[in-house]
Amino acid sequence: MSFLFVVESADFVFLKNQTKLTAGNISSHMTKLEDAGYVKVKKSFVGKRPQTMFSLTAKGRKAFGNYRESLHSALSMLPD
């Protein structure tokens, strides 16, 4: 979700290269995020090649923003 938070959308290959996850792992994670309503998936073709694009929904952006705030708050309580 962190990669999708900073872009409007990203394709499967970009996410695979950035995360170093396997295709199966990305597919599994994105399916769960889509089922939760956090990610929108758009499948199309570029020429004869399939292309899968992912983007965060408004619900996904809010959830990730809340997660960032919670993480920041928890980390700020740690001693230096």
pLDDT, tens only, 12-27: 999 999 999 999 999 9
Range of the domain at 66: 2-76
The residue to which tokens 């899968």 are assigned: 52
pLDDT, tens only, 54-76: 999 999 999 999 999 999 999 99
CB 63 within 8 A of CB 38: yes
Identify the CATH number of the domain in which residue 15 sits.
Answer: 1.10.10.10
The number of folded domains in the chain is 1
Q: Is 56 exposed, middle or buried (0-12, 13-18, 19+ CB in 10 A)?
A: buried
